[in-house]
Structures are given as C-alpha cells and as structure tokens.
C-alpha cells in the first residue's frame, strides 16, 4: 500500500510538471532530451561531458545475472522467495565503489509489488523482517524520505515503458531536474526485472562521485 500511494502522488507531480513546461513553451511534452558523448576512454568522456549544457551523469556500475539454478522449475529453485538479486547486488556495489547507505534514491521496476520489496531487501536497504516498518509513504516520498522510491511514478503511475522511464528518472535525479527532486542525490539506483531472470541493476553518480 505504501508503494502504491507513494508512486501515485509522485506520478501526478511528474505529469503535471511536464505539461506545465509544454504549455509554457508552446511545444509538445518532451520525454527524452539526449546529450551523448562518443569517446574511446572514460577520461575523455568526462572531459567532453563538462562542456555540455547539462551536468554529466556517470554510470558507476552495472550488473546482470541471477542465482545458481534460478531457471529450475519454480518449486525446485534453491532460493524460493527471491527477486534474483542476491548475487547481482554485491557485484554492482563492488563495481560502483559505493554501499547501500550511499544510494539516495531508487527507481525499481514493478512487475509485482512483492518483487519490489525483495529487490530492496536484496540490495541491502533493510532486512526482510523490517519491511513492514520501513515501507510506509513517509519513508518513500521525495524530498524528505530516507529512501525515495520511483519518484516519477514508476510503471504504476507514470507509464509502462518497460522500465526505460526508470533510467530517465534516475538520471534526472542526479542532475537535479526531477519534478520530485531529492536533495543531494549524487547516487541513484535502478533495479530492473525483479523475479524474472536474468535481472539487472544500474548505479548512476554525479561528478562528485568520480
């Protein structure tokens, strides 16, 4: 219930913000405003990105996979109640060089509510037995919640663009451009496809994290 309430409110804010910008400019709403850099090295990309109109957002880490024998028939899988991030999340944090406490905002794919809950647990944000106490609207709402979730509304309340909108919102948060902006969002995470293996996660960071 907390997740649904949170995303409905933040989805309303996101849609209203896009419509206001369109009305003010006289142009149709724009969902994507890409600025890309093609370069053979990370350092060259970072140098070039500093010259763009908008702040650069860095991909700190990306991981994909699932647990051992996860594709076995459901009643034979070694881990029965899982969103399949138990091996992915540690690899993600190791690559990004951050910990759960460093992540300021999360965008999670919602194929099922239980999958979102298990994703957050398996990424280390709280323990399974703490879920009922943690997953309440005041903890998940921007700007003041300790872990704002799906701040543009997510699949439930923004659009069902198969998760691509979650990555756009994660970048907006790091840039400081979200309609439900989280202060100091230097690190943002995207969790994709819980319970449907292989799953994947991304961590984005601002220039301050490099």
Residue 201 within a domain: yes
Residue 78: give its domain's CATH number: 3.40.47.10
Neighbouring C-beta atoms of residue 59, cutoff 10 Å: 14
The better pLDDT of the pair 90, 196 is held by: 90
Active site residue 109: yes
Could you give the number of structural domains in the chain?
1
Neighbouring C-beta atoms of residue 132, cutoff 10 Å: 10
Select which of 33, 114, 160, 184 is catalytic.
160
pTM for the full model? 0.79
Q: Which of 70-74, 87-91, 194-198 has the lowest mean pLDDT?
A: 70-74
Residue range 89-111, pLDDT digits in tens: 999 999 999 999 999 999 999 88
Residue range 13-63, pLDDT digits in tens: 665 665 656 566 665 544 444 444 444 455 556 677 777 788 889 999 999
In whole angstroms, give the CA distance from residue 148 to residue 129: 20
Tell me whether residue 8 is exposed, middle or buried, using C-beta atoms within 10 angstroms of its C-beta: 0 to 12, 13 to 18, 19 or more.
middle
Residue 45 within a domain: no
Can you give the pLDDT at residue 55? 83
Select which of 57, 67, 77, 109 is catalytic.
109
Q: Please, which residues have CB within 8 angstroms of residue 142's CB and are 6 or more apart in sequence? A: 10, 105, 148, 151, 178, 180, 181, 182
DSSP 136: S
Residue 37 within a domain: no
Domain with 168, as residue range(s), is 2-31+56-209
> CA-CA distances (angstroms) from residue 137 to 3, 6, 45, 87, 112?
7, 5, 39, 29, 18
Burial 34-44 (b: 16+ CB within 10 A, else e): eeeeeeeeeee
Residue with tokens 């995207």: 190
Find the helix or strand (DSSP H, E) in which 61 lies: strand 58-65
In whole angstroms, give the CA distance from residue 199 to residue 67: 10
Q: Please, which residues have CB within 8 angstroms of residue 104's CB and are 6 or more apart in sequence? A: 148, 173, 182, 184, 185, 186, 187, 188
Residue 150 within a domain: yes
Residue 165 within a domain: yes
Residue 18 within a domain: yes
Residue 141 within a domain: yes
Residue 162 within a domain: yes
């Amino acid at each position: 219930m907390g997740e649904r309430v949170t995303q409905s409110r933040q989805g309303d804010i996101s849609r209203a913000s896009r419509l206001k910008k369109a009305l003010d400019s006289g142009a149709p709403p724009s969902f994507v405003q890409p600025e890309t850099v093609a370069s053979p090295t990370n350092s060259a990309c970072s140098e070039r990105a500093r010259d763009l109109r908008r702040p650069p957002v860095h991909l700190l880490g990306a991981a994909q996979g699932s647990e051992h024998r996860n594709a076995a028939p459901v009643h034979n899988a070694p881990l029965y109640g899982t969103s399949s991030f138990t091996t992915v999340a540690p690899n993600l944090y190791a690559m990004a060089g951050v910990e759960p406490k460093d992540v300021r905002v999360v965008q999670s794919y919602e194929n099922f509510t239980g999958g979102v809950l298990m994703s957050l647990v398996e990424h280390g944000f709280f323990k399974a037995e703490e879920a009922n106490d943690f997953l309440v609207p005041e903890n998940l709402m921007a700007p003041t919640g300790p872990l704002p979730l799906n701040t543009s509304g997510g699949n439930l309340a923004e659009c069902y663009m198969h998760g691509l909108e979650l990555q756009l919102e994660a970048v907006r948060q790091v840039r400081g451009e979200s309609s439900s902006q989280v202060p100091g969002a230097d690190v943002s995470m995207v969790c994709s496809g819980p319970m449907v293996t292989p799953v994947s996660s991304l961590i984005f960071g601002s220039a301050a994290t490099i």
